[in-house]
A and B are shown apart, each in its own frame.
Chain A
Amino acid sequence: MAPYDDWNKYDNEEDEELQDDSFFDAKKDVILVCIDCSSSMLQVRDDPENEGEKTSHLFAALNTAMQLQKRKVITGPNDSFGIFLFNTSRKADSSRTQVSELKQNTFLYQPPGPISAPTIQQLIELLNGGPEGLLEEFPPSNQVPLADVFTGCNWVIRDGAPKTATKRVFLITDEDNPHPGRGSEQMITAAKNVFDDLLKLGVMVEPFFIQTDDKTFNVNQFYSSVMQHTPLDDEDEDGGLNEAVSIARIEDLLAQMKFREITKRALFSVPFELAKGLTIGVKGYGLVTEQKKGEYKYFVDLGDRLEPAVIKTTLLDEDRQAEIDKSTYVYGMAAVGANTSTNDDDIEEEGIAPTKIVKPGQRPFYTPEEMKSFRTLGLEPGFKLLGFKPRKELKFEDNVKHSLFIYPDENTYSGSKRTFTALLKSMAKKKVIALALGLVRRNATPTIYAVLPQEEDREEMEPGGFHIIPMPFADDIRSAPVEEGFIASDELKDAARQWINKMTIKSGYVPDSYPNPALAYHYEQLEASAFQEPYDADEFEDLTEPNVDMIHKKAGPLLKQWKLDLLDDHSATYVSPITGSKRKADAAVDVRDVMSKFKAGALSKFKVDELKV
């Protein structure tokens, strides 16, 4: 792993695009998990997953909350987390000073705050008591008016959440009709009003409704009126009952939460010009991005505690030891070789800052604005459609970076959704991709993107939209260093086919099956350290390792046969190097048929290349 200093430097100099992301990282996320503790939630049942074990909905919900906190350590270490319970007669400890007096039968188990080892451990301890323990800890009460629950959330968040944070309430309940019978209208109105207040404060409520075989959850009983289900005027993020409400079995709660654990944040919002006069708005999201281990930080041991060190990197004129204000930077080529005064090598060795000396009034360097214009070539952020090609023209090897996902933004151009959808349907039907020129941010570089349609798949929770895949430039394509080799005979190929037949994974590549082992190993050790528990490396399971038992069971003998065939194979045809295959070397830019490119005027082009000396 690169030491911290290098890391910094890379960020500063090599890729100014990267800096942009910090903006998003800096925005904190606050999640308040709000759990129903009614008697049905507390009811102890057999655990379907682990035989002989007991569970309850509350137990599972708290367990999920704990898992979520652990995950947040990785995905959002600066985020805040809290747990709020309702329908419980548990009283607040008098010792704890709660700023706002909470409503009756609600209990703030864990005030929103940064995730920390002790709070997670406390929760783990609570869970160690089992579902029966929870019954004692949080005895159920009468049904609290939902309005009071929301009011409680409101106060708790107001007291405990930083104002700039994104604030969300994860509501977990199995009761689809908390206020039946008379007066329900008033209860709905009251709850709706408080819910609207939450929205106004920028708090989103994400419900997780639990249903079982015996007890289904009907949103229309109560909740659809309270969290007004308004898919038409709600632009997926402005609140309201979320489009895809989670109604699931308790076992799936964690999986459901994974869809929402990270606040959906657009990376960019730009116009997409399909043609002159036809521009729509789109927002871009990163659906696949490498999750890295957190970098180590520097700390100072103050005896009683560790204090993180603040790192300040400044640029200075070494000769003068003077810090230079960022606004005065200008940009140019390394001064080595540009220094007209003396021999540069000597200067370098003496450790004196290289300089460039010009006459007064002359400007030898570029301004930051000029640098930006070189980078963007004057383009404004946005996409411009260039045309369409058959899907198969998007080659496996045309890849350098991860893809992004775009979805229409009706707020910038009305009519974006219908136009986007029409384009999506048409492209999917015709099996084509589009090519588009794009600049995703003001300091990004113009890139050609392949625009790949994805139709909605409700089963798989795959949204409709376009994946945009950055195409490599000629500059990014490396030539093949191996030009000839042994080609296996048909017999050998058939032998290989035998064992390949036995090793097919029908579902395709499903990322969920492959958690990053290095990341998991790192965080398990970090967690053990933070919890001050010993870590047993032997218990670690790497799910990315091949299932060799299965391979041998299914394909072992066939592999053996293939190996034997390989040993016996005398028919392998060696294609001897053809002299004068220079042309291939010349153009061996990539794996496609080289000839096609050179069909037209190959020789003249060749000659011209050589003229470059």
Chain B
Amino acid sequence: MPAERAGYTVTMFLVDVSKSMGAIRSVPLPPGPNGEERSAKMTHLQHALQYVKFKIQTMIYEGRKTDQCGITIFGTEGTDNQINAANGGYEHVTEYIPIAQPTAVTLKKLDQLEPSDDYGDPIDAIIVGVESQNKYLGKKTWTRKVVLVTDGEGPIELEDWEATAQKMNELNIGFTVVGVDFDDEDYGYIQKEKLHIKRVNEEFLVKEFVPAINGAIAGNLDRVIEQVSLPDVKLSRSTLMKSVLRIGDVDARAEEAMEILIKTSKCTAFSRPKAFKKFAYRPKTAEELEAEQRAMEANENFEKTVTFAQLKARTEYFIDLRAHKEEEEEDIKVEENEDEDERRSLDKVEKEQLIKGFKYGTSYVPCPEGQFQRLPTKQGIDLIGFIPEKKFRREFSMGEIQYIWGNPDNASAQCALSSMVQAMYEKGVLAVARWVTADGRDPKMGIMSPALFEQVHCLLWAPMPFADDVRKYTFPSLTELTNKKGETLTEHPYLPTEEQLEAMDEFVDAMDLMVAGDKDEEGNRAEWFDPRDSYNPSFHRLKQAMFHCAIVADLDTNPLPPPNPELLKYFNPPRKMVKKAQGAIDNCVKVLNVKHVPKMAKVARKDGHSHAQDDDDEPLLLDRKPSTSKPSQAQSQVKIEPKPASIPADDGSETEDSDTEMLLDKVEPPRKPNVLPTPARSLSPSSNRNDNDDDDNAMDVDPQRDFGRLIGRSYPLNDFKDNLKRGDLVSKAVEDMCVVIKEIVLAPFASRRSKEMLECMTELRDVCLKEDEIDAWNAFLPDIKSKCLHSTPGNKEFWSEVQGTGRPLGLISDKEAKECGGSSEITEAEATKFLK
């Protein structure tokens, strides 16, 4: 319908509450979690009220003071309306809710409606409704709407209705009849076993009364409910803004320059959902609790209440003098609660004391106006030139699109623009232009594209990036790989093979959306997906949620129903298409052989967002793990083994303190003193991290995981445990753990991590025993023993620590193995001897 002036409307809902409305019906509900069909039993009235409530919810959501409604019910046992009060008659009609902007109370009152034991005449209700609407509006030219909701099973006075219809036409009332179980051939609903009285009434309302009123419509309740619960796209038109399109120097060389008067309006504009308000539970004060207590004592029916308060933002300004204090107080550092420390050093400042300014690096530049002198610009669009259409880079389009029209009041302007648009279209060019929306505003660059409608020509504007808006990053080539010698490679796991390319070609052909939509009348398949049919799922879901919580008191007993399937219709490719394409898909899966690489160290972030991994993540390709015997291209380039970082001043001092001092010059001392970092992990505070504690730091620490390894040198125990938790790749984890322990133990400064390494070994042994990796352990232990004792520099101290731990770190004997269901070739005696 034509976009109408929002608001300025009074809608009268006339709701039938007659006895027959109390009949029970079964209403289908959205399918349950397992797709089972569900339905609810409710009265006709409850069903009908769903429609009324939905309309009213929309009004509440929009929150316009000028969008009002009144509710009149008929079929009530009593009578309460203005006409009856003045002149009598019009019985069983009750003005239930007077005309006003609806609130949650309105909805609550609707919920209290019950079917009566009586009947009322809808025509009476119409007359009452129209009268009170007319009285309320007086001479105001608001939009008048009347909606009648009835099952048509009560008696209707079928005489003299023409006067009513005429009156309604005079008042230009938009009239709608929503009938419970009314026949609707289009909708495919014909009620079987219709009561005679209903047949007569329905016939009258739909075939006689409605046609007599201009623009009136009638519809079946089910169908109407189905329609209103569809996501509602508001067709809003944008305001036309005045501007001018300039070509050439209009000031100095006017006769050779052109100014076209134009109007602009939005063509796309991103709709955001209304913001939810934030609330918080308000604890009761002592007085309130006391008052509550007294009230309960006085009245045993007194109900306790809980209050939630809407929150409001408060902005305060402080200056932080800590930075300077720190210098002075460096020597007298006292253990302090951080909060307290903060409070002490932050001085509150009033907003009036503040000066606006800008930062230039570390320098501050006051600028009391909050901005420097603005670029002097003149309103209008300046044409810069034309570019070939095929040079247009679609991905540069930065934002919302605008229409540019020749001024609708100026024929010459329209002609001028039309001639330009046609010429551009014919030549296949787009225009480059610079737009200033108002004098003194910052200019924007953009591209204008010709658009030829049947009856009007215009330009479409897309904003383009300035030089400053484009980020130039380099990316490695996807198609050209060179090896170390500078030779170009033609075969590599990163490069698709002929077979893979063909499989992909087939896949792309099979997934053609142009013939994946519904069939039209001639049986041709239409294309699938049209932005004009795609509802913003978040927007409508949030709106639905907002509606819902506005009317229910408890979300636990009355949770939000699932989203309308219409919102999810583009969440998956069309099923039929996928079914047909399955062969091509299966082939792609097979020949492309993509494998998920399990995530190694859990780097959980507090904010829970899925940010990109840190850029210093080591590449890890499990399908080319270096431990396999097959050498591959990539393997030859596995990073070299770690070597002692060449950090100066190694005077052989092994005491923990001096090392820390030396290596962590400006780094804060580790929080947990028992474990000190080695050079390989120089900036990490601790290895005994629990998952919630140091996650933020984890981001900055290279896990020191070598190419193809599951276990890194930074947090081997954590990596190991994480991997086992997931249960896959146990052998690989054990294998890598053995290697990593050896590396760390034999690296310089290892003594600082020996405790950690013993923990690692304890865990490793335990896992080996339980996961049937006994041989791995029994091979590892002699190996590390010999490396510790016989290699240079070795680590004799560490081995003696292992010895000190004794049997819990010894070889796994046959006896132990048996208890865990495994086997070992080592006897208990051998195991004991080994540690001596």
Chain B residues with CB under 8 A of A407? 475
Residues of chain B lying within 8 A (CB to CB) of residue A585: 2-3
A526 with B596: CB separation less than 8 A: no
Bound complex: CA A419 to CA B622 (Å): 17
Contact between chains at B512 and A387 (CB < 8 Å): yes
- A509 near B346 with CB under 8 A, answer no
Q: How far is the CA of A207 from the CA of B403 in the complex (A)?
A: 47
Question: What residues of chain A lie closer than 8 Å to B135, measured between beta carbons?
Answer: none
CB under 8 Å from chain B, chain A span 120-143? 120
Asked whether B479 lies within 8 Å of A456 as measured between CB atoms, the reply is: yes
Contact assessment for A515 and B466 in the assembled complex, using a CB-CB cutoff below 8 Å:
yes
Name the one of B412, B427, B470 contacting A497, with C-beta atoms under 8 angstroms: B427
From B73-81, B199-207, B315-323, give the one contacting chain A: B315-323
Task: Flag if B500 contacts A414 (CB, 8 Å).
Answer: no
| In the complex, the 5 A-B pairs of residues with the closest C-beta atoms, listed nearest first | A508-B391, A266-B612, A115-B361, A488-B419, A518-B442
Whose C-beta in chain A lies nearest to the C-beta of B315? Answer: A313
Which positions 522-545 of chain A face chain B at CB distance < 8 Å?
522, 525-527, 529-530, 537, 540, 542, 544-545
Q: A236: which B residues are within 8 A, CB to CB?
A: 474-476
With A275-B585, A610-B1 as known contacts, state yes or no: A414 contacts B621, CB within 8 Å.
yes
Q: A463–B474 contact, CB under 8 A?
A: yes
> Count of chain B residues with Cβ under 8 Å from any Cβ of A?
275
Q: Does A445 contact B (CB under 8 A)?
A: yes
Chosen A-B contacts, 28 in total, with CB atoms closer than 8 Å, are A119-B361, A158-B665, A197-B645, A232-B637, A310-B319, A311-B316, A334-B277, A335-B279, A337-B60, A363-B555, A364-B552, A387-B511, A411-B613, A448-B529, A456-B479, A465-B475, A467-B395, A479-B237, A482-B265, A484-B456, A488-B419, A503-B385, A511-B467, A521-B374, A585-B3, A586-B235, A591-B451, A597-B532
Chain A residues with CB below 8 A from B392, complex form = 508-509
Instruction: Give Cα A291 to B503, complex, Å.
Output: 42
A478 and B276 alpha carbons, distance in the complex (Å): 25
Q: With A200-B645, A389-B527, A509-B432 as known contacts, state yes or no: A360 contacts B306, CB within 8 Å.
A: yes
Distance between B347 CB and nearest chain A CB, rounded to angstroms: 9
Considering the chains assembled together, what is the distance between the CA atoms of A467 and B470 in angstroms? 14
Task: Determine the distance from Cα of A261 to Cα of B808 in the docked complex, in whole angstroms.
Answer: 55
Contact between B475 and A463, CB atoms less than 8 A apart: yes
Assembled-state Cα–Cα distance A200/B638 (Å): 15
CB contacts (< 8 Å) of A181 on chain B: these are none
Interface positions, chain B 32-66, Cβ under 8 Å from A, are: 55, 60-61, 63
B728: A residues at CB distance < 8 A: none
Among A115, A237, A315, A586, point to the contact of B615 (Cβ < 8 A).
Answer: A237
When chains A and B are docked, how far (Å) is the Cα of A509 from the Cα of B395? Answer: 12
Q: Do B667 and A163 touch across chains, with their CB atoms under 8 A apart?
A: yes
Inside 8 A of A525's CB, which chain B residues have their CB? 372-373
Cβ of A331 within 8 Å of any chain B Cβ, yes or no, is yes
Q: Are B472 and A338 in contact (CB under 8 A)?
A: no
With A288-B395, A294-B358, A609-B1 known to touch, is A474 a contact of B447 (CB < 8 Å)? no
Complex CA gap A224/B728 in Å reads 39
Contact (Cβ within 8 A) A354 B360: no
Q: Hey, what's the 0/1 contact readout for B534-547 against A, CB within 8 Å counting as 1?
A: 11111111100110
Q: Which of A335, A398, A445, A526 contacts B360 (CB 8 A)?
A: A526
Q: Decide if B86 is an interface residue (CB 8 Å cutoff).
A: no
B494, A410: Cβ atoms under 8 Å?
Answer: yes
What are the residues of chain B within 8 A of A264 when measuring CB–CB? 473-474, 615
The A interface, classified by DSSP as helix, strand, loop or mixed, is mixed
Are A422 and B500 neighbours in the complex by a CB distance under 8 Å? Answer: yes
Determine whether B21 belongs to the interface, using a CB cutoff of 8 Å to chain A: no
Which B residues, 226 to 285, have Cβ-Cβ distances below 8 Å to chain A? 227-228, 232-240, 247-249, 253, 255-258, 263, 265-272, 275-282
Q: Which residue on B lies nearest to A163, using beta carbons?
A: B683
**In this assembly, does B224 line the interface, its C-beta being within 8 Å of a C-beta of chain A?**
yes
Considering only residues 243-297 of chain A, those with a C-beta below 8 Å from chain B are 243-244, 258-260, 262-270, 274-280, 283-291, 293-294, 296-297
B616, A424: Cβ atoms closer than 8 Å: no
Whether A182 is near chain B, meaning CB under 8 Å from some CB there, is no
Binds B, one of A30-38, A171-179, A369-377: A369-377
Residues of chain B contacted by A287 (CB below 8 angstroms)? 395, 470-473
How far, in angstroms, from A263 to B471 measured CA to CA in the complex?
10
| A357-B305 contact given A377-B537, A427-B508, A479-B3, CB 8 Å threshold | yes
Q: Is the CB of B634 within 8 A of A232?
A: yes
Q: How far is the CA of A72 from the CA of B362 in the complex (A)?
A: 12
B568 at the interface (CB under 8 A from A): yes
A353-B538 CB under 8 A given contacts A232-B637, A300-B319, A508-B393 = no
- Shortest Cβ distance from residue B521 to the other chain A in the assembled complex, whole angstroms: 6
Interchain CA distance A361-B596 in the complex, whole Å: 46
- Would A400 and B399 count as touching, CB distance under 8 A? yes
User: Do residues B276 and A332 form an inter-chain contact, with CB atoms below 8 A?
Assistant: yes
Quick one: given A423-B504, A484-B455, A508-B387, are A330 and B224 in contact (CB under 8 Å)? no
Quick check: B545 and A485 within 8 Å, CB to CB? no
In the complex with contacts A299-B355, A319-B309, A486-B415, A560-B256 CB distance below 8 A: yes
A residues less than 8 Å from B453 (CB atoms)? 480, 483, 591
| B468 close to A194 (CB less than 8 A) | no
Instruction: Assess whether B426 is in contact with A493, with CB atoms less than 8 Å apart.
Output: yes
**B592 contacts A357, CB within 8 Å?**
no
Known: A316-B311, A365-B549. A446 touches B571 (CB 8 A): yes
Stretch at the interface among B480-488, B759-767, B809-817: B480-488
**A185 partner residues in chain B, CB cutoff 8 A:** none
Which residue of A268, A424, A487 contacts B457 across the interface (Cβ within 8 Å)?
A: A487
- What's the nearest-Cβ distance from chain A to residue B80, in Å? 23
Determine whether A56 belongs to the interface, using a CB cutoff of 8 Å to chain B: no
- In angstroms, Cα B482 to Cα A555, docked, is 50
Contacts of A506 in B (CB 8 A): 387-388, 391
Docked Cα-Cα span, A73 to B239, in Å, equals 39
Residue of A nearest to B586 (CB): A277
Q: Mark B608-651, 1 if CB is under 8 A from A, else 0.
A: 11111101111111111000000001100111100101100000
Beta-carbon contact of A482 and B542 below 8 Å = no
**Contact pick for B375, options A331, A417, A521, CB 8 Å:** A521
Query: Knowing A329-B280, A478-B269 touch, does A469 contact B395 (C-beta < 8 A)?
Result: yes
Q: Indicate if the CB atoms of B478 and A408 lie closer than 8 Å.
A: yes
Q: Tell me if B238 and A334 are in contact (CB < 8 A).
A: no
A402 interface neighbour in B399, B511, B538, Cβ under 8 Å: B399
Cβ of B212 under 8 Å from chain A: no
Task: Decide: A586 near B2, CB < 8 A? Known: A511-B466, A526-B372.
Answer: yes
Given contacts A310-B317, A411-B613, contact A496 B420 (CB under 8 A): yes
B737 at the interface (CB under 8 A from A): no
Q: Is B395 touching A334 in the complex (CB atoms < 8 A)?
A: no
Question: Would you call A166 an interface residue if the criterion is a C-beta within 8 Å of the partner chain's C-beta atoms?
Answer: yes
**Which of B126-134, B363-371, B770-778, B787-795 lies at the binding interface?**
B363-371
How far, in Å, is A438 (CB) from chain B's closest CB?
Answer: 11
Residues of A within 8 Å of B474, CB to CB, are: 236, 242-244, 259-260, 264, 461, 463
A612 touching B227, Cβ below 8 Å = yes
Q: Roughly how many angstroms separate A14 CA and B270 CA in the complex, as a whole number?
A: 13
Across the interface, name the chain A residue whose C-beta is closest to B528. Answer: A387
Judging by beta carbons under 8 Å apart, are B570 and A230 in contact?
no
Residues of B within 8 A of A265 (CB): 612, 615
Does B190 count as interface, using CB distance less than 8 angstroms? no
The answer to whether the Cβ of A362 comes within 8 Å of any Cβ in the partner chain is: yes
Q: Given A300-B319, A422-B504, list of 4 further CB < 8 A pairs?
A: A387-B511, A389-B512, A402-B399, A548-B257
Closest CB-CB distance, B11 to chain A, in whole Å?
Answer: 7
A452 interface residue per 8 A CB criterion: yes
A513 at the B interface (CB under 8 A)? yes
A215 at the B interface (CB under 8 A) = no
Of A277, A306, A389, A557, which is within 8 A of B366 by CB? A306
Given contacts A545-B434, A546-B434, A566-B415, contact A611 B219 (CB under 8 A): yes
